[in-house]
Amino acid sequence: MTGIEKVVEFLDKAKTFYFLTTDGDQPRGRPFGFKIVYEGKLYFGCGTFKNVFKQLVANPRVEVLAVSGMDFMRYDGKAVVVKDEGLLAAVRAANANLMGMYDKNGWEMGLFYLEGGHAEIHGMMELKEEFDV
């Protein structure tokens, strides 16, 4: 199993995960649920009008935190924003309701993946697995 597959498997189990950014010198976290694998990469997305998107553009070093049962995963990397019509079409096909809301309101979905990623899966008392993604 590849590193991306391990991350996706954990995120699927967790369902909701938390995206951690910085706002100047203040840490910020918020729940996410959207993700898509496209051409072998794991992409995340949110509205370009949202603070989280502005924060990751200003400082692309981010971390994803997910919890499943008694285990948690940290996945960090550098956010790389991508504008790709094929990717956007895949997002529309997978998330028609979400994209319908974005279209209705004139919002743009900002899509990005993490480059140079590293992940750790922990139990509450021990490191279970560590790998580059």
Task: Kindly give the pairing relationship between strand 61-68 and strand 127-132.
Answer: unpaired
Distances (CA, A) of 100 to 24, 36, 94, 113: 33, 17, 12, 22
Show me where the domains of the chain are located.
3-132
Beta-carbon contacts of 112 under 8 Å, excluding residues fewer than 6 positions away, are 43, 44, 45, 56, 79, 80, 81, 82
Backbone angles phi, psi at 92, to 5 degrees: -60, -40
pLDDT of residue 112: 98
**What predicted TM-score, i.e. pTM, was given to this entire model?**
0.93
- CATH class of the domain comprising 3-132: mainly beta
Give pLDDT tens digits for 18-56: 999 999 999 999 999 999 999 999 999 999 999 999 999
pLDDT of residue 90: 97
Measure the CA–CA gap between 42 and 90, rounded to whole angstroms. Answer: 13
Q: What percent of the chain has pLDDT over 90?
A: 97
